[in-house]
Structure formats: structure tokens, C-alpha cells
Amino acid sequence: MAQETRDKHEHLVRVDSSSEKESLLKVDNLQKYYPIKGGFFRRKIGDVKAVDNISLDLKRGETFGLVGESGCGKSTAGRTITRLFKPTAGKIFFEGKDITNLRGSELRNLRQDIQMVFQDPYASLNPKMMVGSIVTEPIINFKGGSEKKYKDEVIALLERVGLPEDAYYKYPHEFSGGQRQRIGIARALALKPKLIVADEPVSALDVSVQSQVLNLLKELQQEFNLTLLFIAHDLSVVKHMSDRIGVMYLGNLVEVAGAEEIYQDPKHPYTQALISAIPMPDPRNKSKRIILSGDVPSPQNPPVGCPFHPRCHKAMPECSEKKPQLKEVNPGHRVSCLLYE
């Protein structure tokens, strides 16, 4: 990158290394339920428990990977944490402030600090707007002024995410999927947020460009001292990105540990099954694949006891009666399984 461009975007860089260990986001017993209505009077007859009970603590500057099969509630959790969805119960704290019930201008102001990168970059970009306008729009919304005022800043940002300078004057359809995701990342960065929730940011992309976008996110995370909540269904994708990993099953967190530890020593039978399914680059490594039987049960009617018991290869009689709680088994390693209680 040219020195001039570096200088232009230097002011975008957020450096706050002294506070890397402090908590940025804390989530306590978060629930997000959707009511099911039925009968003649459309009365509530039940709930879809998309997020049943999640507690998390994201440290400033870390990347936390949230993984699980589709339908496990991870995307709903991401959107509820960012307050795009209203929580049903539980608490969310951002920089120590309770943001669970923020509304109006306070909620709007929160958008400066918490941004999202979505799975489908094309659907999240207005096809009728030029890229320069797309990336400048959130800045104008918060700070006022004209596009011209922020043009140099936005061009520097576009270059930083790997787009050419003339991208400013082009439309989203003129770019490839990977480039569109770079536009989405530039838009998310425009307000210099503290937290980015990236919801399956590479799963719609060709395998060949996935690693480029992942590397870019990793670089930006360090350069901007971002805290990143990285949501994915693929454990092998989050491994290279994350400092810590949380595994979700049927709206619940079932295991949380450091990225290395969870791969080397997975405790929960579900995590063990997910890790056993990752192809090993070394053919001499013949660890046995654990096949998960059946599908994820409906969150409308989750199993009694441990939500994983109908599919668990280590299930015991008490697993269909008692619901395990997330408990620490090693420092920083929490598991929700009766085998460890």
C-alpha cells in the first residue's frame, strides 16, 4: 500500500492494547423465543426456543468463534447480542452498560460500536447505490456532512480491504462474491466499531476466496483492535480465526474453551463428533469418526433432559431426565454434560 494511502487511513486505526483483557461484551442467560400461535383465537400455544440459555464474556480484542449445525440458534444469538432482535430474557452488557432494553437514540448510538457482517454480501448491499455511497452512508447517518467530506477516508478504507480505488464509483453487481464481502466489511468498519459480529461471512463464497477473506478479517481484527464474534457452522473455519470457541446445540452453549484446547481435548460428546468429522491432512491419523444419528430436534419441542441425548453416543439413563449446566472443568474450559458433573 502506498505511504500516502497508509497515512490517509491511519486515523481509522484503533489501538488500545492496554485493555486487551478487559471484558467488552457480557451476556447472561440470554433467551430468544418466538411465540407459536394456534387455535381459533390465535392464542400463544408454545415457543420456538431459538436461543434457550447463553452466557458469554467477550474480551476486548479477542476473536470468539461460535459454531454449531444450522438451526442451532447461533445466528439468532448473534443478532440478539447486537440488539437487532429484542431478547426474550437475560441481560447483555456492553462496556459494563446494560444494553438489554435500549431503545430509540440510545440503541441507534450503539450501532456505532457494534456492527455486523452478513453471510450474503449481495443481499446486504443496496444494488442501486455506488460502493462509495454504500460505505459512506453509515458515516453520514451518524456524523452528518456530505459524501465529499469523507471521500478520501472511504477510498483509503476500500483500498485497505483490498478493493481498487475506482471501486468507489462502481455498483455491487460489478464485483465478485469475495469483493462484495470486502465491501460489506468496509461498510461495517466505516464507523470504527469496537465489536463486529460476522455471521457466516465466508460460507457463501468459493472455497478459493474463503481463506483470503478470513485472512483479511484476521488482519483487520488486529489492526483495528476489534473484538470479533465469528459465527460459522464449520469448525475448521473458526479454528484458524479464533482465540476461544463456543459450541452451540439447540439454543444452548454446550462447550466453551480456548481454540487449541477444544481441538486437542474436546469434552462434550457433540464437540467430539464435530471434530471427528474434520478431514485430517495427515492420512496416518486414523482417529475414528463419530457419526451423529438423526437430525437436530425442533427447537419448538426440545427433548427433556440433556437436549443432545437422543443423538449422543455416550448417553446415560439420567441424560433424558436432567438438564446439565455449563460448568468449568479446567480453567477457562466449560462443558454442559452430566459426564462431568
Question: Chain centroid to CA 88: how far?
Answer: 19
Residue 277 Cβ, how far from ligand SF4 at the closest point, in Å?
Answer: 17
Name 333's bridge partners. 330
Rank residues 201 and 307 by Cβ distance to ligand SF4 and give the closer one: 307
Please say which residue, 198 or 306, places its beta carbon nearer to ligand SF4.
Answer: 306
Output phi, psi for 205, to 5 deg. Answer: -100, 155
Toward ligand SF4, which CB reaches closer, 209 or 339? 339
Q: In a 3-state reduction of DSSP, which class is residue 23?
A: strand
Min dist CB 302 to ligand SF4, Å, is 12
Give the footprint of ligand SF4 on this chain (CB under 6 A).
268-269, 306, 308-309, 312, 314-316, 319, 324, 337-339
Determine the 3-state secondary structure of 195 from DSSP.
Answer: strand
Residue 291 φ/ψ, nearest 5 degrees: -85, 125
Tell me if 183 sits within 8 A of 163, measured CB to CB: yes
Contact (Cβ atoms closer than 8 angstroms) between residue 227 and residue 58: yes
Q: Rounded to the nearest whole angstrom, what is the least distance from the CB of residue 263 to ligand SF4 in the complex?
A: 18
As measured in angstroms, the least distance from the Cβ of 127 to ligand SF4 is 45
Do the beta carbons of residue 55 and residue 66 sit within 8 Å? no
CA 299 from centroid of its chain's CA atoms: 20
Q: Which is nearer to ligand SF4, 177 or 303 (CB)?
A: 303
Cβ nearer to ligand SF4, comparing 53 with 227: 53
| Residue 85 near residue 25 (C-beta atoms within 8 A) | no
Nearer to ligand SF4, 205 or 257 (CB): 257
Contact 312, 306 (CB under 8 A): yes
Neighbours of 128 (CB within 10 A): 9
Q: Provide the minimum distance between the beta carbon of 255 and ligand SF4 in the complex, in angstroms, as a whole number.
A: 10
Through-space distance between the first and last CA atoms of the chain, rounded to whole angstroms? 54
Calpha distance 235→240 (Å, rounded)? 9
Nearer to ligand SF4, 326 or 338 (CB): 338
Least distance between ligand SF4 and beta carbon 310 (Å) = 8
Nearest approach in angstroms of CB 288 to ligand SF4 is: 17
Residue whose CB is less far from ligand SF4, 192 or 314: 314
**Is residue 114 packed enough to be buried (19+ CB in 10 Å), middle (13-18) or exposed (0-12)?**
buried
Supply the minimum distance, in Å, between the C-beta of residue 50 and ligand SF4: 20
